Structure 1
Amino acid sequence: MIVDDNSQVRTILGSVLNGAGVAHIHYAPTGAEGLKAVMSTPIDVAYVDYDMPGVNGLEFISEVRESERDFRMLPIIMVTGHSDMARLIAARDRGVTEFLRKPVTAKSILDRLNSVVFHPRPFAKSQTFFGPDRRRKRATPYEGKERRRGDSGG
C-alpha cells in the first residue's frame, strides 16, 4: 500500500513496485483512507508519507501500532523529504519499521522492501512502546563475572 497525498510520489513508488513484480498495490491519497484500507484489506507492507493533511504519517503509525488487531505488526516504511533527527526519532518512537528519504530511487524503494520482507526485526512491547525492536545490531553475549544466572553458560 502507498499512502501519500502527492499523486506523483504515489505513481513513482507504484511504478517501481509494479516493475519489481508487486501485483496488487492499494493507493491512498490520505492517512485516513490508508487507515480504512488497513482495517478492511490484507496489506503486506505500507509506504507512508510523513507530512499529510489530516492524519499524518506519525498518526498513521500510532493508529496501526495501538490497535489490538493483526495488522498492528504491519511493516511501515516512512517516506519523507525531511529526514532531520527529530523527525526520525519521533517516527522511530511511534514504531516505524524503515525510512525512505525523498527524492527516492528505484534502488532505495526496493532496498527498504527487501529489508522488511527478508530481514524483519522482532517486535518489542513495553508499557509505552509497541513496534519493531529499535536495536539493529545484535550484542555479543556477555561472558563476564556479572552475567545473569539464567543466561546460558551460567
Structure 2
Amino acid sequence: MSAALRNRSVDLAPLVSRVVILDAHLHGARLLGDVVKQLGSREVVIETDRDLAMETVRSIEPTLIFTEMTAGLDGLAFVRTLRRSTLGCRQAPVIMLAAEPTASRIRQARDAGVHEFVRKPYTSAEIIRRIEGFILRPRGWLENRHYVGPDRRRFSAESFHTPKRRRSDQSGGVARLQIAI
C-alpha cells in the first residue's frame, strides 16, 4: 500500500463504493481501478465506449465517475448527457482525465459539469487528493437553461471570506455597498 493511501485523512469508501471509468486506454483504466479499489470500492466498471458507459451508469448508479477527454470517446458529451438526465446519479462527482489539457479544454470540462480535471500522467496521491476534495469541500448544485452541474465558483464555501458581489450572496437578499473613507 502506498504512503498516500496510508496517510488518508478521510474515509473515502462511501464515495468510491461504485465507480465507473470511461477510458479508451484499457491499461490505464485498470490502473485507476486498482487505486479506487484500494480506497474501498466494492464495484469498479471500466467501459471504453460512451454509449455502453451510459447504459452502465443507468444500471449501477455509480457514486463516482472518471472519464477521459478523448476525441473518440467525447467525455464532454457523456458528462453533458449525464448531467441533463433524470438518473439518480446525475449529481455524482465526475473527474475528467486528459493527456494534453489546455485552458480551453479545462473550461469546456468545467462548463460540461465536471467536478475536477486531472492531467495525465497522474499519481495515486493526486487522485486521492481530488476525491478528498469532494468530501471536505462539497459544492452546491446548479441547474439552469445553460448549465447543469456543480457550482463552478471555486471559493463559494463559507470559510472563504471576500466581499459579496452578488445580491444572492448577500444576507437578506439586499445588496449593500460599503465605501471606505
> TM-score normalised by the shorter chain: which range applies?
0.7 to 0.9
Distance 1:151 1:2, change over 3 A: same
| Aligned-residue identity in percent | 28
Equivalent residue, structure 2, for 1:115: 133
Alignment partner, residue 91 of structure 1:
109
Could you tell me which runs of 5 or more consecutive residues in structure 1 were left unpaired when the two chains were aligned.
Answer: none
CA RMSD of aligned residues (A): 2.4
Q: Which runs of 5+ in 2 are unaligned?
A: 1-19, 177-181
Instruction: Quote the residue 1:140 is aligned against.
Output: 162
1:120 Cα deviation after fit:
2.1
Q: Aligned partners of 2:70 and 2:174: how far apart in 1?
A: 46
User: Which residues in structure 2 correspond to 1:27-46 (within 5 Å)?
Assistant: 27-46=46-65
1:150 equivalent in alignment to 2:169? no
Cα distance in 2, alignment partners of residues 108 and 153 from structure 1 = 39
Question: For the residues of structure 1 that align with 2:41 and 2:68, how far apart are their CA atoms?
Answer: 20
User: Within 2, Cα distance between the matches of 1:20 and 1:72?
Assistant: 22
Shift of 1:109: 1.3
User: How many residue pairs align between the two structures?
Assistant: 150
Question: TM-score, length-normalised on structure 2?
Answer: 0.74
* 1:74 and 2:79 are equivalent in the alignment: no
Shift in CA distance, 85/150, structure 1 to aligned 2, threshold 3 Å:
same
Alignment partners' CA distance in 2, 1:40 and 1:118: 28
> Secondary structure at 2:62's aligned position in 1?
coil
| Structure 1: distance between partners of 2:102 and 2:117 | 12
TM normalised by structure 1 equals 0.86
Which structure 1 residue ranges, 4+ long, deviate > 6 Å from structure 2? Answer: none
Would the aligned equivalents of 1:66 and 1:130 in 2 still touch at CA under 8 Å? yes
